Amino acid sequence: MMDILMYLFETYIHSDAELMVDQDELSEELLRAGFHQDDIYKALTWLEKLAALQETEDTPYMNTSAVTSMRIYTSQEMSRLDITCRGFLTYLEQIHVLGADTREMVIDRVMELETADFSLDDLKWIILMVLFNAPGNESAYSQMEELLYGIEDGYIH
């Protein structure tokens, strides 16, 4: 499913391609690209739920939390997000790329993935998708994009 999400993000979102694509057309295109129908359906449902996170006021994590609060991960979250992923989320909060609300959106979307293997690179893509979809996070999206794409080989002096 991550492959489909990354394909869609790069093809339609990141490249500023036409966003008004019929879901049946999109499914056909993904089938032609070699993806399986079940995975396509799951990916499109995942994206719909991501969009729905912006529209609901009843979501508990959209409430503001104290700056001094600390996130405690559930055992299921810790099994999906290893120490490296959790550390990266904390780092992004410290440099103000993620806030408590966007962090919780990221965790929500990660936990909805049906995958046994989840890596830091996967997390970075999910973060990009969430930030792109969350209004008012354009600067954070640009910072995250720079972290993802702007890493150059060599030494930092």
Q: What is the DSSP letter of 63?
A: S
Taking the domains of the chain in order of start, what are their residue ranges? 1-63+72-153
Alpha helices in 83-156 (DSSP H): 83-94, 100-112, 120-133, 138-149
What's this model's pTM, rounded to 2 decimal places? 0.81
Q: Tell me which residues of the chain have a pLDDT lower than 50.
A: 60-61, 153-157
**Number of other residues whose CB lies within 10 A of the CB of residue 144:** 22
Distance of CA 60 to CAs 11, 73, 101, 141, Å? Answer: 32, 16, 9, 23
pLDDT digits (tens, 9 = 90+) for 34-43: 999 999 999 9
Q: Given this model, what pLDDT does residue 52 score?
A: 85
- Whose tokens are 């489909």? That residue is 4
